[in-house]
Amino acid sequence: MGSYGSNGKSYVDWCAKLAQSFNIEVPWIMCQQGDAPQPMINTCNGWYCDQFNPNNKNSPKIWTENWTGWFKDWGMQDPHRTAEDVAFAVARFFQYGGSLQNYYMYHGGTNFGRTSGGPYITTSYDYDAPLDEYGNKNQPKWGHLKKLHEVIMSMETILTNGVKREVDYGNMMSATIYMHQGKQACFLGNANWNTDFTVNLMGTNYTVPAWSVTILPDCYTEVYNTAKINTQISIMEKLPNEADDEKEPYELKWQWRPEHPEHLKHGTVKGSVMSANKLLDQKVVTNDTSDYLWHMTSQYGLYNKLEFTMDKDIKLKLGTNTISLLSATVGLANYGARFDEVDVGIHGPVKLIGNKGSKDEVVKDLSGNKWTYKIGLEGIEGKGLQNGDSRHNSGWQYYNLPSNRLFIWYKAMFKAPLGTDPVVVDLNGLGKGIAWVNGHNIGRYWPAYAADQDGCSITCDYRGTYGPNKCLTNCGNPSQRWYHIPRSYLRDDNNLLVLFEEFGGSPLNVKFQTVTPVTICGNTYEGNTLDLSCQGGSLISEIRFLSFGNPKGSCGAYEKGTCEAYNAASVIKKACLGKQSCSIEVSENVLGPTGCHMTEKNMLAIEAICH
């Protein structure tokens, strides 16, 4: 509230007193409010909160928003925060006295309708969360954090009641020992970006990888390290619509109709809401009921060379001319100081310039003209074309399907994809607009807006502090190409897709798909259990790679090492093939001796196919 000065401080104090007056006997928190008055508990939001301390020594250390990834703007690449780094941040927080932490986001989502803010935040709000936009497990992040939660919860009594002792080994390497009623729990934290450290704790040596935390619930046995992932890795794929025999997009039969611009007629327009002798802020006029606002005025033309330049020049005729401007929002500002004061829409000046650049240039400022305002579009607010209203069927055409034209409506019937996997529609080839399925607004689309060509990473190093420009992918491609259709929006028989296209594009590449993990992998150290699972009724149909010993590489590019257990393949195939899920105890007792003589533990690497 610092941006509001003393008024902001007074408001915070007033809020605190109001909250306390309710006498509900539960703690009250204020996120990111360092001067929160007692008994309010000030809390931390961010990617890392281990160094945060509340403003009162008697307050618990709370992390209200652990940012598991980042949101995406139109024109932005895909952000990614690694499972190792999120786990590192969580473990560090509890190492340094954290009491409670909450994820933002744990489940990604979709900005259906007009709910995306920002402005310019995409319809997808996947956020690279542990559960993705569609509800799928984002593996390995989901599984890696689940194991961490289980370890932390097993130490809950010691961490919340015990006394702690710090050991500083130097070079950002430390140990924290918690003790309570004769029991103890330990953390070994290495915040160095590049260097692994071997340290001695209570007479035993432990090697802690760079940018990681090792957890020893009894201060002796290493149970978890944030840099060592021992859970499933899933590669999500988008599969064709089997309900249409995989013939989309060619099976879709498109209809179309134009959206006509609004114009003043004899100084008025049907459905206008107000007039004013100035340009009004769009959010004030629309009250956030529509993305669209028409601004209309008239001007008497004296020069046949008078031009109004926006994207292209226009000519005005002699006599009275009507000028209609349509402004469209892409979400409103919804965070930051004074976001409610951000100008929205056309706020001027609006000028007509004749003989531009010559000595006879004439400038006419229309900002103070009488402007008439109309909210929305006739096709949406007037006729409800998005709902497939049969009263307006006569205006739709089957022939001469236009493309790359402004203000065009398209619609087509489609069959719901089979199964239970999440459904998306691929809108590649379209420009910008809004999409509806069976009358449900699935959000704004803008596949014509491509991400920058630069800034993406071939590899992603979890080490070092995370930021929204780290580990980017999808450079040069549409910021969002696929749009989520909840199965609750779909009917068993035919379904209606309606598109309102603003910029100009083509619907001929539109197709419906399902999202599911097809390739699943695991690289798990000995002493752990690897759980593999498919979803949506798919079964583990093939083992493409398997080695228990010292394999190399990563999911999709594994290679055998110098030693391995030769019986492991038969054991795992028997346990997993033809099943939706299986659990593998990674040990020589189960998978056979590897013959490896290494200081590191044996590791199992496996790549399987779900079908």
Q: Mean pLDDT across the stretch 255-281?
A: 88
Q: Is residue 37 part of a domain?
A: no
**For residue 248, what pLDDT is reported?**
81
What is the residue whose two structure tokens read 């100008």? 343
pLDDT band at residue 311 under the 50/70/90 scheme: very low
CB 499 within 8 A of CB 380: no
Q: Mean pLDDT across the stretch 275-290?
A: 93
Answer yes or no: do 427 and 495 share one domain: yes
Q: What is the mean pLDDT of the chain?
A: 93
Hey, is 133 helix, strand or coil? coil
The interaxial angle of helices 141-154 and 83-95, nearest 10 deg, is 20
Hey, is 324 helix, strand or coil? strand
Joined together, the tokens standing for residue 536 give 């949506």
**Cα separation, 9 vs 389, whole angstroms:** 53
Closest CA to 549 of 607, 609, 608, 600: 600
Residue type, position 468, single letter: P
Rounded CA Rg of the chain = 30
**For residue 299, what pLDDT is reported?**
67
Joined together, the tokens standing for residue 93 give 């927080």
Closest CA to 151 of 203, 92, 91: 91
pLDDT band at residue 335 under the 50/70/90 scheme: confident
Answer yes or no: do 402 and 440 share one domain: yes
Cis preceding-peptide flag for 349 (omega within 30 of 0): yes
Residue 431 sits in a domain of what CATH number? 2.60.120
Q: List, as one string, the DSSP characters of 245-284.
A: TT-TTTT---EEEE-PPP--BTTB-TT--EEESSPPPHHH
Residue type, position 239, single letter: L
E-strand spans in 309-416?
A: 319-328, 351-354, 362-365, 371-375, 408-415
Answer yes or no: do 370 and 389 share one domain: no
Q: Give the distance, in angstroms, between the CA of residue 385 and the centroid of all CA atoms in the same chain.
A: 30
Q: List, as one string, the DSSP characters of 142-177.
A: HHHHHHHHHHHHHTHHHHHH-EEEEEEEETTEEEEE
**Cα separation, 553 vs 530, whole angstroms:** 18
**Cα separation, 71 vs 124, whole angstroms:** 8
Q: How many domains does the chain divide into?
A: 4
Hey, is 573 helix, strand or coil? helix
Answer yes or no: do 353 and 390 share one domain: no
Burial class (CB in 10 A: 0-12, 13-18, 19+), 557: exposed
φ, ψ for residue 146, nearest 5 deg:
-60, -45
Answer yes or no: do 361 and 455 share one domain: no
Q: Is residue 174 part of a domain?
A: yes
Listed residues 323, 355, 375: the one ending a domain: 375
Q: What is the pLDDT of residues 592-611, one digit of tens each?
A: 999 998 778 899 999 999 99
Dihedral of the CA atoms 504, 496, 73, 31 (nearest 10)? 150
Q: Is residue 179 part of a domain?
A: yes
**For residue 498, what pLDDT is reported?**
98
Answer yes or no: do 339 and 478 share one domain: no
Q: Is residue 562 part of a domain?
A: yes
Answer yes or no: do 213 and 360 share one domain: no
**For residue 351, what pLDDT is reported?**
87
Domain containing residue 493 = 238-259+380-514
Q: Is residue 398 part of a domain?
A: yes
Answer yes or no: do 252 and 311 share one domain: no
Q: Is residue 165 part of a domain?
A: yes
Helix, strand, coil percentages (3-state) for the chain, rounded to 5, are 15, 35, 50
**For residue 305, what pLDDT is reported?**
33
Residue type, position 365, single letter: D
pLDDT band at residue 304 under the 50/70/90 scheme: very low
DSSP strand pairing (371-375 vs 292-301): antiparallel
Q: How many CB atoms lie within 10 A of CB 417?
A: 23
**For residue 263, what pLDDT is reported?**
85
Q: What is the pTM of this model?
A: 0.93
Q: Is residue 61 part of a domain?
A: no
pLDDT band at residue 300 under the 50/70/90 scheme: low
Closest CA to 483 of 103, 112, 205: 112
Residue 594 sits in a domain of what CATH number? 2.60.120.740
CB 509 within 8 A of CB 249: yes
Answer yes or no: do 207 and 306 share one domain: no
Answer yes or no: do 603 and 550 share one domain: yes
**Cα separation, 167 vs 173, whole angstroms:** 9
Answer yes or no: do 497 and 539 share one domain: no
φ, ψ for residue 148, nearest 5 deg:
-65, -45
pLDDT band at residue 302 under the 50/70/90 scheme: very low
Q: What is the pLDDT of residues 349-360, one digit of tens each?
A: 898 888 887 888
**For residue 142, what pLDDT is reported?**
98
**Cα separation, 178 vs 187, whole angstroms:** 9
pLDDT band at residue 437 under the 50/70/90 scheme: very high
Specify the DSSP class assigned to residue 456.
B
What is the residue whose two structure tokens read 């929305």? 376
**pLDDT surpasses 80 at 586:** yes
**pLDDT surpasses 90 at 212:** yes
Listed residues 343, 375, 407: the one ending a domain: 375
Q: Is residue 468 part of a domain?
A: yes
Listed residues 375, 391, 418: the one ending a domain: 375
Answer yes or no: do 337 and 396 share one domain: no
**Cα separation, 520 vs 534, whole angstroms:** 8
Burial class (CB in 10 A: 0-12, 13-18, 19+), 119: middle
